[in-house]
Structure 1
Amino acid sequence: MKSRFVQIIPLLLILIIVLNCATNKVRQKSDANLELNTVQTNELTKKNAENLPFDYVTVTSIEKKWVDSVYNSMTVEERIGQLFMVAAYSNKDSAHIKSLDKLIDEQKIGGLIFFQGGPVRQAQMTNRFQERTKTPLFIGIDAEWGLSMRLDSVNRFPWNMTLGAIQDLKLIEEAGKQMALQSKKLGIHFNFAPVLDINTNPKNPIIGNRSFGEDKEKVTERAMALMNGLQSNGVFATGKHFPGHGATSSDSHYTLPVIDFSQEHIRDVELYPYKKLINKGLASVMVAHLEVPSFESRKGFPSSISNVIVTDLLKNELNFKGLIFTDALNMKGASNFKSPGDIDLAAFQAGNDILLFPENVPVAIQKIKEAYDQQLISEERLAYSVKKILQFKYKAGLNKYKPIDIQSIATTMNPPEMVALQNRLYENIVTVVRNKASIIPIKNLEKDKIAYVKLGDDSNGVFLEMLKNYAEVTEISNSNLDSLLTDLSDYSKVIISYHKADGAWKKHDLSSEEIQKINEIAKRKKVILSCFVKPYALSAIPSFEDIDGVIVGYQNNEMAQIAVAELIFGAIQAKGKLPVSINEEFKVNHGLTTEKINRLGFTHPHNVGVDELVLQRIDAIMQKAIGEKMTPGGQIVVARKGKVIYQKAFGFHTYDNQVMVKNSDIYDVASLTKIVSTLPNVMQLYDVKKVTLETKLGDMLPIFKGTDKENIIFKDLLSHYARLQAWIPFYKGTLNEEKKPSEKYYRKLYSEDFPFQVAENLYLRKDYQDSILSAIATSKLLPRKEYKYSDFTFIILKHFIENSTGKTLDELSEKNFYIKMGATNTLYNPLKKVDMSIIPPSEEDAYFRYQTIQGYVHDMTAAMEGGVGGHAGIFSNALDMAKIMQLFLQKGNYGGQQFFSSETFDIFNTCYYCPEGNRRGIGFDKPQLGKSGPTCGCASMTSFGHTGFTGTMAWADPDKELVYIFLSNRTYPNADKNLLSQNNIREDIQQVIYDAILPEN
């Protein structure tokens, strides 16, 4: 017996070896479709080394161990459950949530695809479902242009076709990155994007704006960039709709569209982007419900359940090893063909891995289980897809699942970087397709009278407001064409804009009446047509011959409207190109470049190296100033690198809190007049050698000949280093014994002898201005030469300018600067042009004019000069003041014009007496040399500006390319206590601005 047993042992060992070999062969065969062998893996890894963010080919031993462990712990039904990704909504009721609970508990589904709802609600649902599932769930979302496609309260990215206009692919990759970061905050693993469809049918009812365009190369480049952005930041991308939905003329949600192209055409065009993206590591593909006769001979047979298309074409011919999703199985393109359960089974048998949006999961699982039991589906086939799903779950980090931090969602869903990116995207999207005689940008504002006409039924408010930020633009509205044309007769240029609701599938067609309006206006006027709609909408216009400028803005939202307005006035240049063809003239890839002419633009702080969150501290400082009655309200503008990054209005006109301050309101800017009116005019005179730094006052104005001031040189005069007194209260000499305006000097009504209005119903005699200058000429000089700020300097300069030019200062400033620069809200004596309601009052005067000073200059001497002083008198808003400071920052250049030479600016921005302790430049104030002064102490010594008595400040810093404007009426109701200055409000705000500049910026 013993010997026989010994003899049997070798036979048993041989049998065991044979059985092991057989088992290994089965296992190897089972795993063959899941894992490439080492050689294949190495080859593909090398091939995709640079662009394979999700290496779904290489499987580590730890990963394989986890996948096998989870797989082996499952029943067959649980494994089948992993194939299903079910629709979830965070805007539905508790019954919907409980129905999903049931599917997770009983059917062990593998994932959820979220649709409409909100981010917090979705995150709460995700945590709930992940907590109760045995195997962590895939979370997907169909968010082709970001989560806003499905969710509220999140920023919207442009449509794919809009992104298709961008030439800088890094921007699209950045968009993908931000989409991914946004998605990860909600525990999302799959974004069913990018769309790879080539939209060759302009009337495609379902793709359209979802496509990057009609050019296969351009579509591929942009889809690749978006994929890289998504996948390099932790979210799986899904190319769709395989094999290509761009040429369809029907919607697969409702029927089965036909792709009637040859195999050669489909391989050359529709499959082109798939080949490229698969080669660079595309994680997954979604198969569409299409009839493709050239590949699938069975009539009416959907591509999503075609083994020829899913397995032979996608998996074998294109060598795709990633996850394969069906398109939603509830869509009629699929559900009309087979009933629930049968369609799911057919889709799985065709080679799909994940069955998306099934109509009836229990029935579908039962059908697949029956097929499995009948060996119509092998264990090998089931393991292939389920293990692949588990492998992707491992790569998504679901082997170490962590709940979503709900608390952080509200504060992190729309980070500054994302908003900043929106600005950059639209600046690169806007496309100019026609620019006859270079009408864009509008340059010489003084030569044009511009009208604006709106078409379409959607909002245009931001666009019109932005246009008015650049020039005086008058809106003309009349439904009757003849009346409209009459109303436009006095205008030289007309900006027409067309606005339709910003929806991807909404109709954007121009009506025949709208086309007629465009054509008739264009026959008579120079027209710039701006269309905030999909490009295809313009194809309805039969001819563009009479239209001078045509701009495609693609979408009707705030960012697009800002960018188009900036483009029209040259703050940015056109960079976009058409992603699709409009007509024979405007074909795909057509787009003109326009000139940038150095006007202030608008952007997010982050784009110019400024921290938005730090900048927001300004709000608290202003609220403190208003709350403690340092000023009733105010305006602040901050610009950096030629871009406005902060523009806000605060508080009210007065402390009764009746009229809120708006950005368009205009303030008495007081002594800012010195540098925004008088000084630039003096610079022009300096350019033409009407004056030099050494010119003597006696030579500038004859009245100073023979006085002790005749030898004061120009440099000393403007440096406040000429021993002049600070001021003289001239008004007191015109009051009677009761300290009221004397009838000797004033009248209640205008006349030739009393032409200078100092307040309502108060006019000064015309010869008094000579008295002011005479009083300065005979005033005593200070005993020693030292820095002493004096209003006399700019009162003198006003008369010098007017004598030299033969024109009044207000006329010169308006014609030489304000009209040309589009600073149309900057003016003397504003009540001659604007309504008092937009001017905050500056004081309740109880010592001179005895009335509310509103719309009349606060400074008494400037009032006595008819409101036009060299030292005071200008009214403006903060944006206009920023334009003028930007002019200085750009050394005399603005809007394509050189107003004075850069050399002259440098001369005037020099502190000649700093060694003597005098910080002043030539006319400009400069940073303090000691502890106290006009700035926060953080501004560079190259910086310059001025402050004003009414609570104003304008400052620019070339080193940081920074402009800061502060306007207020702190003198209301009276100017006795300057709490604004005592509390360093303007300086503290300036400090915040410098603190907000990011390192290395």
Structure 2
Amino acid sequence: MLNTSIYIPSILTLDAIKNVWKVGLCIGFGLLFVFISVPNAGANNDSSTKFSPKVDVEKFVDQMSLEEKVGQLFILGFQGQSFNPQIHEKIKKIKPGAFIFFGRNVKKLRQTHKLTENIRSHSSLYPFQMIDQEGGVVSRIKSFPPPPSALAMGQAKNLMYVKTVSKLTSNILTDLGFNFNLAPVADLSNPYEKNFMGNRSFGDNPAAVASMLTEFAMEHEKNSVIATFKHFPGHGGIAGDSHKMTPINKKSKEELYKHDMSPFQHVAQFDFPTAIMTAHVSYPALDPSGLPATFSEPILKGILRNEFKYKGLIISDDLEMYGAEVKGDIGDRAIKALNAGVDMVMVAWSHNRQMKAYRKVLNAVRQGDIELSRLNQKVLRILKTKQRVWYPPVKHNPIEAVKHSLARLKDIGSKIIEANFNSSPKLVGKSIEHISQAKKVYFYTSSWSLYQNLKDQVGTKLKYIPLKPGQKVNFSVLKSRDQVGLFYVSGLGTARILQRMPSRLRNKILVVNGTYPGIIQNASEYAGVLHLNSQHNQLGQWIKNAVDEIHKRKKRLRQPASEVTSHHKKRSKKKRSHNPI
């Protein structure tokens, strides 16, 4: 059993003990006074706690610690779907300027809203909360069907569609707590050529794309959401994927200025806050060193800042991508990008690399490898932008507002993709005949819901053949004369399966393409190819609408003929009565 009594030596008198107690008390108060007086001693006692839309930003930057300034240069990814110790450590040690959300962080609407709220409330300096919500396949906030792709909007050729989609998208982001959308794609890309961008690009006409970018950005700005134009000076028309390699754009300087960079030059003139994301692509005609644009001073400072007079934020794509590989580690990449002209560098995945990059940039500033004046300019730009997109008042029921916007987005998305479906009336008519004349239609698709939707309209003659990775697909059922196929391409995987189809059977297959035209090889060999340019599950309804329209047209064409025939018969009877045989 423990003895909890305290032994006091007999040499200490009661007065001595009182004196010791007084001395200790004085020392304690003295330490407390020192602790309170030292700047940044407490977790919240730093300059960033005073940041608001009303502060003088230039004076505020002067008061910030070096550690705080460097932290503002970082865009960090994180693990988890709720506020956790890892996020807390990033906030405590780095105080990052932004957090980026991926699909791994976004599961449900309420969960996402709570997570953005927690990050904001725990961050002493107001953070950007970023997300990729382009539409189409790049949509972190999931909906069914997904929002229309940029290509589907571009092919619909209606700016009102772009405006409405952007308005609803930014409504959703604001209500969920986001203030920064890593969209739209400003790259020009020919949809009829195989390329990395696919249906993420609005198209390849510089003037038309510039108009769509304008509508998109303006609607985001109205909702206090930053629009990001990517990937400068242009990632379109390149087959290589910068996530896996450093692609090389071999176009001439004149061609890059006239074509690829034209939309970026247009958006650089906007007088409201925007961001431009750099490409991990090499452009020898613009920078003979061969460095990717992210690390190229001639491209970022020389062209974007000096020639195009761009005053907004320049942010990097993820520095952990293979396309961003340069000599040195993640810290060296960050330093090189910042010195080239990038304002904020993204390290999206590894927590250890994030910490390493932060420490290395901090040391680079201390040692003069990054000039303090240059650091201050970047931080000034970041904080001024934050003031312009300060969170609007929270709605009474933001989740219901998000659901309402998603429902409206679904409606407008259906109209956009139906417009793509109906863009080739002759092909639609040919396709309908292809299906209606067959006794059996075999539908090759990876989407059960799409099959069900189509079956509701076509009927029992539709047979489902699922497409799964690595599975051998049976095309032999199409050998019979009265049996045809309908093949739905939802992405690169299903396009590869289609390509393996025997050539002799391709004229019995109608292809419905939910991606972009260039993904279909040897398109002329098939019975027809309908380009939706985005994924959607209402194919059956559109086919039914087309069938109904064809029947109506035929009925209208038959009507005058029947009236003429009837009139002719009456005249014949009268003649026979006067001239009987």
Report if TM-score (shorter chain) is over 0.5: yes
1:236 maps to 226
Superposition deviation, residue 550 in structure 1 = 4.4
CA distance 1:430–1:77, shift in 2 (3 Å): same
| 1:373 equivalenced with 2:366 (yes/no) | yes
Which of 396, 417, 426 aligns to 2:417? It is 426
Deviation at 1:253, TM superposition (A): 1.2
Q: CA deviation at 1:540?
A: 2.1
1:548-598 residue CA offsets vs partner (Å, 9 max, x unmatched): x6422234431344334423442xxxxxxxxxxxxxxxxxxxxxxxx8958
Give the % identical residues. 23
Summarize the Cα distance change of 1:216–1:898 in structure 2 as closer, same or farther, 3 Å threshold: same
CA offsets 1:854-901 (integer angstroms, 9 cap, x no match): xxxxxxxxxxxxxxxxxxxxxxxxxxxxxxxxxxxxxxxx887769x9
Deviations 1:793-818 (A, max 9, x none): xxxxxxxxxxxxxxxxxxxxxxxxxx
2:157 corresponds to:
167
Q: Does 1:194 align with 2:184?
A: yes
Distance 1:79 1:482, change over 3 A: closer
Any idea what SS the aligned residue of 1:456 has? strand
Report what 2:541 is aligned to. 562
SS in 1 for 2:250: coil
Distance 2:136 2:424 in 1: 28
- 2:532 maps to 1:553: yes
SS at match of 1:77: helix
Paired with 1:250 and 1:529, the residues of 2 have a C-alpha distance of 26
Paired with 1:152 and 1:554, the residues of 2 have a C-alpha distance of: 18
- Deviations 1:264-291 (CA, angstroms, capped at 9, x unpaired): 1111111011122223457110011111
Give the equivalent residue in structure 2 for 1:457. 445
- Label 1:337 to 1:506 Cα distance change in 2 as closer, same or farther (>3 A): farther
Q: What is the alpha-carbon distance in structure 2 between the residues aligned to residue 175 and residue 340 of structure 1?
A: 37
Contact 2:136 2:535 in 1 (8 A): no
Cα–Cα, structure 1 residues 201 and 441, in superposed 2: closer, same or farther, change >3 Å? closer
Contact in 2 for aligned 1:105/1:132 (Cα 8 Å):
no
CA distance in 2, matches of 1:229, 1:596: 41
CA shift in 2, pair 1:385/1:562, >3 Å? farther
Structure 2: 5+ residue stretches without partners: 1-51, 466-472, 563-581
Query: Would you say 1:536 and 2:518 are equivalent positions?
Result: yes
Alignment-derived partner of residue 499 in structure 1: 488
Q: Report what 1:17 is aligned to.
A: none
Conserved? CA contact 2:283–2:293, under 8 Å: yes
Which residues of structure 1 form unaligned runs of 5+?
1-61, 523-527, 571-594, 599-819, 821-893, 902-1001
Q: Deviations over 1:944-996 (max 9, x none)?
A: xxxxxxxxxxxxxxxxxxxxxxxxxxxxxxxxxxxxxxxxxxxxxxxxxxxxx
**1:649-688 alignment to 2 at 5 Å?**
none
Evaluate the alpha carbon distance shift between residue 367 and residue 440 of structure 1 in structure 2; reply closer, same or farther with a 3 A threshold.
closer
Question: Distance in 2 between the 1:487 and 1:440 partners?
Answer: 17
Q: What amino acid maps onto 2:523 in structure 1? A: I
Report the Cα distance in structure 2 between the residues aligned to 1:457 and 1:78, rounded to whole angstroms.
52
Equivalent positions of 1:744-823 (< 5 A) are: none
Cα pair 2:132 2:183 within 8 Å, conserved: yes
| Distance 1:188-1:437 versus aligned 2 partners, 3 A rule | closer
- Residue 220 (structure 1) aligned with residue 206 (structure 2): no
**What TM-score do you get using the length of structure 2 for normalisation?**
0.75
Q: Is the 8 A contact 2:78 2:86 kept in 1?
A: no
Task: Report SS of the residue matched to 2:277.
Answer: strand
1:473, distance to aligned residue in structure 2 (A): 7.3
- The change in CA–CA distance for 1:157 and 1:452 in structure 2 (over 3 A counts) is farther
**Structure 2 residue aligned with 1:285:** 276
Which residue identity is paired with 1:296? D
Q: How far apart in 1 are the matches of 2:166 and 2:64? A: 36
1:454 maps to amino acid: Y
Aligned to 1:389: 382
What secondary structure does 2:330 align onto? coil
Based on CA coordinates, which of the two structures has the bigger radius of gyration?
Answer: 1
Distance 1:569 1:539, change over 3 A: farther
Q: 1:412 & 1:103 partners in 2: Cα distance?
A: 29
- Following the alignment from structure 1 to structure 2, what is the Cα–Cα distance between the partners of residues 362 and 285? 25
Is the contact made by 1:530 and 1:551 (CA closer than 8 Å) also made in structure 2? yes
Cα distance per residue 1:895-945 (max 9 Å; x no partner): 87769x9xxxxxxxxxxxxxxxxxxxxxxxxxxxxxxxxxxxxxxxxxxxx
1:474 is aligned to 2:467: no
Amino acid at match of 2:289: R
Aligned mates of 1:283, 1:206 — CA distance in 2: 24
SS in 2 for 1:539: coil
Residue-by-residue CA offset, 1:159-205 (whole Å, 9 max, x unaligned): 22222211111111111111101111111111111111122486766
2:456–2:540 CA contact under 8 A, matched in 1: no
Name the aligned partner's letter for residue 444 of structure 2.
Answer: G
Shift of 1:390: 0.8
In the aligned structure 1, how far is the partner of 2:326 from the partner of 2:494? Answer: 27
For residue 508 of structure 1, the aligned residue among 490, 495, 508 is 495
> In the alignment, residue 488 of structure 1 is paired with which amino acid?
D
Structure 2: distance between partners of 1:302 and 1:480: 45
Secondary structure of the 1:279 match is coil
In the other structure, the counterpart of 2:482 is 488
Q: Which residue identity is paired with 2:382?
A: I
Distance 2:546 2:373 in 1: 60
- Give the whole-Å Cα distance in 1 for the aligned partners of 2:455 and 2:423: 17
* Cα shift at 1:261: 1.4
Letter in 2 for 1:115: F
Paired residues, number: 494
Structure having the higher helix fraction is 2
Aligned 8 A contact 1:499 1:533 in 2: no
Note if 1:517 corresponds to 2:505.
Answer: yes
> What pairs up with 1:341-356 in 2 under 5 angstroms?
341-356=331-346
Residue of structure 2 in register with 1:111 after alignment: 98
Asked whether the equivalents of residues 147 and 154 of structure 1 are also in contact (C-alpha less than 8 Å), the reply is: no
CA distance in structure 2 between the aligned counterparts of 1:378 and 1:596, rounded to whole angstroms: 73
- Provide the alpha-carbon RMSD of the alignment: 3.6
Name the residue aligned to 1:295.
286
Amino acid at match of 1:535: P
Contact 1:77–1:365, Cα closer than 8 Å, also in 2: no
Kindly state the Cα deviation for residue 432 of structure 1 after the two structures are TM-superposed: 4.5
Deviations 1:374-404 (A, max 9, x none): 3343332122111111111111115xx7678
